[in-house]
Amino acid sequence: MLTITMTNTTTTMKAVTYDRYGGPEVLAYTDIAKPTPGSDQILVRVEATSINAADYRLMRADPFLARFGAGLRRPHKWPVLGSDFAGVVEAVGSEITDVAIGDRVFGDSFADGRAAFAEYVCVSPSSVAPIPDGLSSSDAAAIPLAAITALQAIRDLGKVEPGNSVLIHGAGGGVGTMAVQLAKVFGGDVTAVCGPGSAAVVESAGADRIIDYTVTDVGTESDRYDLILGVNGYRKLSTYRRLLNDGGQYVTIGGTGRTFFDSLVLAKFAFMFSGKTASILSIDDDKRAADLRELHELLSTGRLRPIVDRTFPLEDVADAMRYVETGHVPGKVVLTLEPPYPPAPLA
d(CA 90, CA 343): 9
Residue spans per domain, the chain: 5-143+306-336, 156-280
Residue 63 confidence (pLDDT)? 63
Q: Which of 305, 304, 247, 293 is nearest to 271 (CA)?
A: 247
Tens digits of residue pLDDT in 110-167: 889 889 999 999 999 999 999 999 999 999 999 999 999 999 999 999 999 999 999 9
Instruction: Find out if CATH 3.10.20.30 is the number for domain 156-280.
Output: no
User: Among the ranges 182-186, 220-224, 282-286, which has the highest mean pLDDT value?
Assistant: 182-186
- 152 near 344, Cβ under 8 Å? no
Residue 69 confidence (pLDDT)? 63
Residue 81 confidence (pLDDT)? 94
Class of domain 5-143+306-336: alpha beta
| Cβ neighbours, 10 Å, residue 272 | 8
The more confident residue out of 259 and 230 is 230
| Cβ neighbours, 10 Å, residue 213 | 17
In percent, how much of the chain has pLDDT > 90? 73
Instruction: Let me know the angle formed at the C-alpha of 211 by 208 and 216, rounded to the nearest 5 degrees.
Output: 150
Residue 161 confidence (pLDDT)? 97
pLDDT-based confidence at 346, cuts 50/70/90?
Answer: very low
Distances in whole angstroms, Cα of residue 11 to Cα of each of 36, 109, 112, 117:
9, 21, 20, 17
Mean pLDDT over 300-324 rounds to 97
pLDDT-based confidence at 264, cuts 50/70/90?
Answer: low
How much is the pTM? 0.90
d(CA 277, CA 280): 11
Residue 284 confidence (pLDDT)? 94
Q: Where do runs of H (alpha helix) occur along the chain?
A: 53-60, 66-70, 137-140, 144-151, 174-185, 199-204, 237-243, 257-261, 267-270, 288-300, 317-325
Q: Which of 150, 120, 165, 92 is nearest to 10 (CA)?
A: 120
Q: Which residues fall within 8 angstroms of residue 76, CB to CB, at 6 or more apart?
A: 70
- 328 near 197, Cβ under 8 Å? yes
Indicate whether 34 pLDDT > 60.
Answer: yes
- 61 near 54, Cβ under 8 Å? no
Mean pLDDT over 166-175 rounds to 96
With 0-12 / 13-18 / 19 or more C-beta atoms within 10 angstroms meaning exposed / middle / buried, residue 150 is: buried
Residue 236 confidence (pLDDT)? 83
Longest dimension (CA), the chain: 66
Tens digits of residue pLDDT in 204-242: 999 999 999 999 999 898 999 999 999 976 778 889 999
Indicate whether 338 pLDDT > 90.
Answer: no
Indicate whether 343 pLDDT > 50.
Answer: no
pLDDT-based confidence at 266, cuts 50/70/90?
Answer: low
Listed range (6-15, 129-138, 296-305, 335-344) with the worst mean pLDDT: 335-344
d(CA 328, CA 298): 26
Looking at residue 94, what DSSP letter applies?
Answer: T
Q: Which of 212, 171, 218 is nearest to 329 (CA)?
A: 171
The more confident residue out of 273 and 184 is 184
Sheet with 209-212, side-by-side order of all strands? 209-212, 189-194, 165-169, 225-231, 244-253, 277-280
Residue 328 confidence (pLDDT)? 83
Question: Which amino acid is residue 276, in one-letter code?
Answer: K
pLDDT-based confidence at 345, cuts 50/70/90?
Answer: very low
Residue 271 confidence (pLDDT)? 81
Residue 273 confidence (pLDDT)? 76
State whether residue 112 is helix, strand or coil: helix
Tens digits of residue pLDDT in 52-95: 998 998 998 876 666 656 665 677 667 899 999 999 999 999 99
Q: Which residues fall within 8 angstroms of residue 326, CB to CB, at 6 or more apart?
A: none
Q: What is the CA radius of gyration of the chain?
A: 20
The more confident residue out of 42 and 60 is 42
